[in-house]
Amino acid sequence: MRYLTIALSKGRLTELSVQLFEAIGLDCTELKSSTRKLILQDEKNKIKFFLAKPSDVPTYVEYGAADIGIVGKDTLLEEGRNLYEVLNLGFAACRMVVAGPAELYGKLDQLNNKRVATKYPRIAREYFEHKRRESIEIIKLNGSVELAPLVGLSEVIVDLVESGRTLKENGLVVLDEIADISARLVVNRVSMKMESERINRIIDGIRKELEKR
Amino acid sequence: MGKWKIYTPEGVQDILVNECFNKRNLEDKIRKVFSSHGYYEVETPIVEFYDVFSAETDITPQETMFKFFDGQGRILVLRPDLTIPVARVAATKFKDTNYPLRLSYIGNSFRYNELGGGKQKEFTQAGVELLGVNSPEADAEIIATAIDALLACGLENFQLDIGQVEFFKGLMEETGLSSEETEQMRLLVDSKDFVAIEELVKVHDIKDHLKELIFNLPGLFGSIDVIDRVKEYPINRRCINALENLKRVLEIIDDYGYSKYVSVDLGMVQSVNYYTGTIFRGFTYGVGFPILSGGRYDGLVEKFGKSSPATGFSLGINMIMMALDRQKIEMGKPVIDSLICYKKEGRKTAFEICETLRKQGLSVEVDITGAGIGEIKKYAEQKGIGGILFVPDSKNIEVHNVENGDIKAVSIDELLKSGGAL
């Protein structure tokens, strides 16, 4: 039997993903050990796991280097990869929003020359150009995006919001919601066909497990 | 100056000895399959007018094409695809030919592809187009030809998924969704995004049975009974026709004896504006992308001035090479059978021997360095040449076995009769 390869997002999704796979009977012992090995195996079920930077997971899956992946919807939207997005895992839920100073609330339309600071240029562009049909100037940042409107780098931001506390403490408000975000199970388009039986078994297992929760 | 002269641009590659040998071999095998099915090969230019491709935004989006200008400012492109040029040829150069018209091609295409997983900006496509007939027989012939081509390449574990875009179009017609919403739905079905499909279906006023069917659409793949499962729903004529057409195609494929290679996928909805009927894609192990794709595109040829139904497929030779490599399927190596060296007195004889052996189908290399036998042996060994023929004069020949060091003296007659077996 061939190995199925599963790519997991390194970070807050790792632990939740491991729990899920254990719940459906995969052996994640190696995955939980503090080994330095990059590829970890479940010999019994012929499955290989590896951890990757979240934004790389869709790439691994699209190219078939991994058959299956777990990754946040934010990353999927930003990377725009060609793959099957088969399950909403529900965890790591948050929202992708446009935020800015409260005085802009309801007045986003009136703002000429929007400068948008974000870690997600593709999502921001897609939202403003296709949904709102407005031109924007993107300022790509790598962290603490909330800072940008405070110091005059941009008018608004596009970012993930979980509780909204950071926004509130900095005098920013949500101006519009772009999408609900949570972890997703993705599958390579060819693997879905060539290994449909085994992959469907995993998908069904996870689906049942999620229903229990 | 000349900073880049030792590099090749990203996305194009040199194809060297063994790989080139394998690639040509594959192309030859595929070419034989095509011609044995009655397809005539055509060659179209690598450079075409942009206009040839500009209307097919599904297949060849503007941003994927290499563009430049001719002397009159017209936009030229490196062809991103070969089906569309063949359709142009069929509608213009073959407009008075009796149908069906069977054409094939093998050639390079160019796209601004993102690299990785076997994708390059320059890649070789091989394919056939069958014009003038819209029947399940034509669709099945194309699919069977595709399977024959894959088998000829040495692949055994592969799968062709067959779908029917008319089924999706019929469903969408029934829902009354706008063309924008239909496109949104198509994208979701294409990525099997059950979650979002459910949400999208919920917000629209669609009949319950239809909702259920659309929601199930991404999962409607597998064996032929998928079709029967769907037939239980009250669907419109367009959908029923699509399913019946698909079923007939599958029946014909069964008579070809190729049922084991195909399965059904009703959720396959790529490029629905381009395709008009049966569509299919080929998959195998070791490659994350389809190795071939094709289908019926009855609207394409008309755009070049002659209305004609058409179906065809193209396969990616580079993808197939990657699959063969990953699946560890042996493809062979180029072989030189003998190296011939001579003294001046034996030169004429040496050339005569060369000619005869080459006519027998052997590949014979002539030593032109004039080096000693020791040097020549080293060269032969390094290049993997099995035997050296040394011709000192017009009478005598020494056969040196490079592997075990044996030296045998033979006559010309003996040598030529042996067919190089000495």
Q: Which domains does chain B have, with CATH numbers?
A: 17-326 (3.30.930.10), 338-418 (3.40.50.800)
Asked if pLDDT for residue A113 goes beyond 60, the answer is yes
| DSSP H or E run through A148 | helix A147-150
* A190–chain B Cβ distance below 8 A for any pair: yes
Cα first-last separation, chain B: 55
User: What does the mean pLDDT of chain A come to?
Assistant: 92
- CA–CA–CA angle A6, B283, B141 (5° rounding): 165
CB-nearest to A64 from B117, B161, B221 is: B117
Question: Does the beta-carbon distance from B221 to A193 stay under 8 Å?
Answer: yes
pLDDT of residue B419: 61
Question: Does the beta-carbon distance from B283 to A196 stay under 8 Å?
Answer: no
Taking residues A126-136, what's their average pLDDT? 89
Which sign does the torsion angle of CA B75, B81, B84, B88 carry?
Answer: positive
Higher confidence at residue B179 or residue A202?
A202
Sheet containing strand B40-41, edge to edge, reads B40-41, B101-110, B122-131, B310-316, B292-296, B278-284, B158-164, B262-265, B221-222
Asked if pLDDT for residue B247 goes beyond 70, the answer is yes
How many Cα atoms occupy the beta-carbon half-sphere of A125 within 13 Å?
12
Question: Does the beta-carbon distance from B265 to A193 stay under 8 Å?
Answer: yes
Higher confidence at residue B1 or residue A177?
A177
CA–CA distance, A113 with A128 (Å, rounded to integer):
12
| Total domains, chain A | 2
Question: Does the beta-carbon distance from B192 to A84 stay under 8 Å?
Answer: yes
Together in a domain, A8 and A48: yes
How far does the CA of residue A65 sit from the closest CA of chain B (Å)? Answer: 7
Question: Does the beta-carbon distance from A189 to B263 stay under 8 Å?
Answer: no
Together in a domain, A110 and A186: no
Share of chain A above pLDDT 70, in %: 100
Question: Does the beta-carbon distance from A63 to B117 stay under 8 Å?
Answer: yes
CA–CA distance, B125 with B149 (Å, rounded to integer):
12
| Cβ–Cβ pairs < 8 A, chains A and B | 59
How many Cα atoms occupy the beta-carbon half-sphere of B208 within 13 Å?
0
C-beta atoms surrounding A48 within 10 Å: 17
> β-strand B101-110 against B292-296: which pairing, if any?
unpaired
Burial class (CB in 10 A: 0-12, 13-18, 19+), B45: exposed
Together in a domain, A125 and A162: yes
Q: Collapsing DSSP states into helix, strand and coil, what is residue A100?
A: strand
* A64–chain B Cβ distance below 8 A for any pair: yes
Chain A residues lying within 8 Å of B218, measured CB to CB: 84, 86
Together in a domain, A16 and A88: yes
CB-nearest to B191 from A63, A65, A83 is: A83
CB-nearest to B161 from A86, A191, A193 is: A193
CA–CA distance, A38 with A56 (Å, rounded to integer):
15
CA–CA distance, B407 with B387 (Å, rounded to integer):
10
* A5–chain B Cβ distance below 8 A for any pair: no
Q: Is the ipTM of this complex over 0.85?
A: no
| Helix extents (H) in B64-135 | 83-92
CATH number, domain at A108? 3.40.190.10
Together in a domain, A80 and A126: no
Sheet containing strand A136-140, edge to edge, reads A136-140, A114-118, A156-161, A94-101, A172-181
Asked if pLDDT for residue B421 goes beyond 70, the answer is no
C-beta atoms surrounding B122 within 10 Å: 18
**129-188 in chain A: CB under 8 A from chain B:** 187-188
CA–CA distance, B137 with B120 (Å, rounded to integer):
34
A68-93 pLDDT, tens digit each = 999 999 999 999 888 999 999 998 89
Instruction: Enter the pTM of the model.
Output: 0.87
CA closest to B192 among chain A residues: A84
Together in a domain, A104 and A50: no
B17-41 pLDDT, tens digit each = 999 999 999 999 999 999 999 999 9
CA closest to B319 among chain A residues: A63
Q: Collapsing DSSP states into helix, strand and coil, what is residue A83?
A: coil
Asked if pLDDT for residue B136 goes beyond 60, the answer is yes
* A88–chain B Cβ distance below 8 A for any pair: yes
CA–CA distance, B90 with B102 (Å, rounded to integer):
10
Taking residues B173-186, what's their average pLDDT? 88
Domain range for A203: 4-92+182-212
